[in-house]
Structure 1
Amino acid sequence: MSTTTVAPAPAVTEVSEGYWTRNRKVGLLILALGVLAAVIFGALATDQQARFTLSEDAGGAALEINGTFGAILFGIIAAAAGAALLAKLPGKWFLPLLAVGVIGFVLSFICWQVSAAPAGQNFMPMVNMVRGTFLLALPLIFGSLAGLLCERSGVVNVAIEGQLLMGAFSGALFGSISQSVWVGLVAAAFGGAFISALLAIFSIRYLVDQVVMGIVLNLLAVGLTGFLYERLMQTNAAAYNSAPRFGTWEVPLLSDIPVLGPALFRSNIFLYIGLLLVLVIHLALFRSRWGLRTRAIGEHPTAADTVGVKVLRLRYRNVILAGMIAGIGGASYTLALYSFTKNMIGGKGFIALAALIFGRWNPTGALLAALFFGFADQLGTYLSAINSTIPSQFLAMLPYLATMLAVAGLVGKVRGPAAAGKPYIKN
């Protein structure tokens, strides 16, 4: 009788992720920033009261805090959030603690700056800050939604900058010719759709690399609008660059809410359209058949095709719809704020792309990320207005520095739709 010896199964070695996990690395960074804020900002701040007014000027009700005390207190709060992250609490606490750490650091910085401002300027008008944040975030909201629709459909949209620019130009040109803001708004949507249609045709039909195609379309938009601006708008601004503007739309009762009321409910139509689009796209993307199919073709188009989804047709529709949304975002410049100038978008399309990544390809997340970048931009404007000792060139860099921090993985690893950027060839 033979005996068979069975070799013992090899021991399963547990692979440790190591001590320095993402939480701990970010926690160490936040802890260091909090300590630096408490020490440096606390030393540079003055004992003058830092006032945060609830109106648009220095008068009226205000929240006040001693500058030195506030800088130290908020620095300690940021450091405590960093220490909690360093202790590796459960993953669900990562984003809340990160938010507390960043907000604490920013508030410590603001207490220093406001308290050190010249007499009579040591206040921050909260209404203006909130209003400016939303206005500066508007093109980012529209642009990030455009990128979201494309990437959820499997098409990388690097052409957001060109779509915004073409929308701004078309709105200004046709709004001026017709002297109608509504004609300008429709024209802006079609202007963005024009760039988006080119992206769809070349990336879906002819399988051109989507990133390269997006860059080419941005250059096309810059060149085309620049040429037409010099030939038409510069030579006859009254006829071609004098579009009427949307006025302020005030919502009764809601506009009387302190701080948020004047900022949100006494604004132009673009803010209402942008917020409504965030809500509609969020509900449609996660609560409708269209949304289910869109997410399917962005993750696994072959599987979607096998159950009858027209992958290519849906991609065409979504990419063109995304261009229309971005075009309307471009019109928020020329039909509400400014006359058209060459390359007036100034890189906002790329920041919108960063907001999309920062927001984890979610409409609500993209909105919050856009507001974060808008606040960084508005903060730079405010600090320049109070003659901050920080060089103006550095202040102008604030929104771009915030963008780099966002896409450098501060919020952790994020994964976009699996099929984004990968052409689909129907068998």
Structure 2
Amino acid sequence: MTTTAPVVPDSSPSALEKAEIRSWKAPIAFGVFVVISLILFFGFPRNGESSFRWSEATDAIKLPNLTVDTRVTTILVTILLVILTAASAWYSWRARKTPIWMVVLFALIFMFGFLAWADSGSPYPVPITGLFLGTISLAVPLVFGALGGVISERGGVVNVAIEGQLLSGAFVSAMTASFTGSWAVGLIAAMVAGVLVSFVLAAFSIKYLVDQVIVGVVLNVLVVGLTNFLYSQVLAADPQALNHPPRLPSWPIPLLSDIPVIGKVLFDQSIIEYLMYIAVFLVWFGLFKTRWGLRLRSVGEHPEAADTVGINVNSTRFWNVSLAGAVAGLGGAYFTLGSVGAFSKEMTAGQGFIALAAVIFGRWDPIRATLAALLFGFATNLQNVLSTIGSPVPSEFMLMLPYVVTIFAVAGLVGMSRAPAADGKPYIKS
């Protein structure tokens, strides 16, 4: 009797049909902006000329203004946007991801068309240098807050208290710098204030296992109430001595600061902007290239495995949450030492929550979170620029634009975003 062996189907990768995963998120987002372009450019057409100013009066190298025909520009921009949307749809149909360069190009083209439409017939050209310079300035506290959020959440602790860390840093830096007359002491004091807020967050969430989100919200309310009380009772009593801090000096870098457009934007800043550049690099390098970063990510992803190889999970989390508070507190100092020049009640105005949105939008990556913070800073500064050139866009819409971008970014652009596996989960050693 002859037996026949059962036929086993070939399960090698070459014999298996690869499942195609098509993501239509990018072409849908592109399509939304194409519809917005059609409504603005063709539903409310504007004729005339639009100008863009590339150089300021103090620039060593001056570039001529760019003047374009508004109607022709908006038509060409719409055509290009439709082409890029079709290309993105083709990538999705082929189960391929839309390249990042295409996303950046789409955004630049749309913004150029929108600014040309908004500036049509205005006697004031669009100040490109001012637009970017304001973006950097408004993004500084967001970047520091986002970096603090990345460090904390990569270690497994949800940092909703970024708002409180920024506000405490702003208050303490103003009072300390005013009292000592030194902005350097003010920066150090701001970091200490952020650490103190983080100590409370770490103690309750790590040691006493209180819900991390609740602790963060309570800390924000506590810091707001405490700083308001101290402002009314202490700073307001003698503002010249306690709420008149020295401003951060501007340190232009020779040669680099003379480069048109980007020279003023990147290389003619105060020390806190330069510290921001350094902090972004250090957090990225430390997180992904060092032993410290490996330990931090391990306690945020799989604390049980980290514990088995000898890593003290709770201690690692505690000290890194404290480090996150120091970084966020430094961002708070920018409000009083670099931007406003004095402390006022609730001056952070929800920037900590936008920084937290930048963490999510950036997928817990320091570089992406920084880019997200710059996006939110750009959206905030855009309302100022449009008001200057006399844009027809209602001011009420421009005021809510940063928050619309925040909601759209977190709910729409990010889609399925995976946080560190143990983020928000207390670790109890068995």
TM-score, normalised relative to structure 1:
0.92
Give me the whole-angstrom Cα distance separating, in 2, the residues matched to 1:295 and 1:285: 8
Residues 296-335 of structure 1: pairs in structure 2 closer than 5 A: 296-335=298-337
> For residues 16-415 of structure 1, what are the structure 2 equivalents within 5 Å?
21-23=22-24, 25-38=25-38, 40-42=40-42, 44-56=44-56, 60-87=63-90, 88=92, 89-117=94-122, 120-121=123-124, 123-338=125-340, 339-415=342-418
Does the 8 Å CA contact 1:30/1:102 hold for their aligned counterparts? no
Moved over 4 A (4+): 3-9, 13-18, 57-60
Of 406, 420, 425 in structure 2, the residue corresponding to residue 422 of structure 1 is 425
Alpha-carbon distance, 1:5 to partner? 12
**Greater RCO structure (CA 8 Å; 6+ sep):** 2
Q: Is the 8 A contact 2:31 2:85 kept in 1?
A: yes
Give the secondary-structure state (helix, strand or coil) at the position aligned to 1:315. helix
Please report how far the alpha carbon of residue 57 of structure 1 lies from its aligned counterpart in structure 2 after TM superposition.
6.0
Partner Cα separation in structure 1 for residue 186 and residue 71 of structure 2: 51
Q: Is the 8 Å Cα contact of residues 35 and 79 (structure 1) preserved in structure 2?
A: no
CA RMSD of aligned residues (A): 2.6
Q: 1: distance between equivalents of 2:5 and 2:415?
A: 49
Shift in Å, 1:26 = 3.8
Q: Distance in 2 between matches of 1:127 and 1:175?
A: 31
Residue 255 and residue 8 in structure 1: after superposition, are their counterparts in 2 closer, same or farther (change >3 A)? Answer: closer
State the AA in 2 paired with 1:306. T
Deviations along 1:138-197, one digit per CA (max 9) or x if unpaired, are 011000000000001110000000000000000001111111111111111111111111
Aligned amino acid, residue 127 of structure 1: T
Whether the aligned pair in 2 keeps the contact of 1:161 and 1:350 (CA below 8 Å) is yes
1:16 shift after superposition: 7.7
1:251 deviates by 0.5
| 1:71 aligned partner, one-letter code | T
* SS at 2:188 equivalent: helix
CA–CA distance in structure 1, aligned partners of residues 43 and 205 of structure 2: 55
Equivalent position SS for 1:424: coil
In structure 2, give the amino acid aligned to 1:214: G
Task: Provide the C-alpha distance between the structure 2 equivalents of 1:17 and 1:163, rounded to a whole number of angstroms.
Answer: 45
- Give the Å deviation of 1:42: 4.7
Contact 2:301 2:420 in 1 (8 A): yes
Which secondary structure does the structure 2 equivalent of 1:267 belong to? strand
Q: CA deviation at 1:110?
A: 1.2
Q: Partner of 1:208: helix, strand, or coil?
A: coil
In the alignment, is the contact (CA less than 8 A) between 1:171 and 1:185 conserved in 2? yes
Q: Is the 8 A contact 2:118 2:393 kept in 1?
A: no
Amino acid in structure 2 at the alignment position of 1:236: D
Q: 2 CA distance for matches of 1:237 and 1:83?
A: 59
Q: Secondary structure, in 3 states, of the residue corresponding to 1:50? A: strand
Which residue of the partner structure matches residue 12 of structure 2? none
Within 2, Cα distance between the matches of 1:64 and 1:412? Answer: 39
Percent identical residues? 46
CA distance in 2, matches of 1:91, 1:382: 37
SS in 1 for 2:339: coil
What SS is found at the alignment partner of 1:249?
A: strand
The 3-state SS of whatever aligns with 1:93 is coil
Q: Which runs of 5+ in 2 are unaligned?
A: 10-15
Gaps of 5+ in 1: none
Separation (CA, whole Å) in 2 of partners of 1:32 and 1:224: 44
For the Cα contact (< 8 Å) 2:20–2:95, is it kept in 1? no
Question: What is the CA distance between 1:264 and its match in structure 2?
Answer: 1.3
Q: Secondary structure at the match of 2:126?
A: strand
Measure, in 1, the Cα distance between the counterparts of 2:182 and 2:369. Answer: 31
Whole-angstrom CA distance in 2 between matches of 1:8 and 1:183: 74
Amino acid across the alignment from 1:352: A
CA contact (8 A) 1:31 1:83 kept: no
In structure 2, distance between residues paired with 1:64 and 1:393 = 29
Call closer, same or farther: CA 1:408–1:116 in 2, change over 3 Å. farther
Q: For 1:311 and 1:183, how far apart are their aligned partners in 2?
A: 33
Residue 411 (structure 1) shift: 3.7
Cα distance in structure 1, aligned partners of 2:80 and 2:345: 45
> 215-224 vs 53-62, which deviates more?
53-62
How far apart are 1:7 and its partner, in Å?
Answer: 12
Q: Does the 8 Å contact 2:23/2:95 carry over to 1? A: no
User: 1:247–1:5: structure 2 CA closer, same or farther, 3 Å change rule?
Assistant: closer
- The answer as to whether partners of 1:300 and 1:418 remain within 8 angstroms in 2 is yes
CA distance in 2, matches of 1:345, 1:103: 29
1:335 & 1:28 partners in 2: Cα distance?
A: 43
The one-letter code matched in structure 1 to 2:426 is P
Compute the displacement of 1:321 (Å). 0.6
Q: Which stretch shifts more, 408-417 or 373-382?
A: 408-417
Shift of 1:107: 2.3
- Following the alignment from structure 1 to structure 2, what is the Cα–Cα distance between the partners of residues 128 and 189? 30
Q: How far apart, CA to CA, are the structure 1 residues paired with 2:331 and 2:151?
A: 15
- Taking the aligned partners of 2:396 and 2:316, their CA distance within structure 1 comes to 45
SS of 2:298's equivalent in the other structure is helix
CA distance in 2, matches of 1:361, 1:328: 20
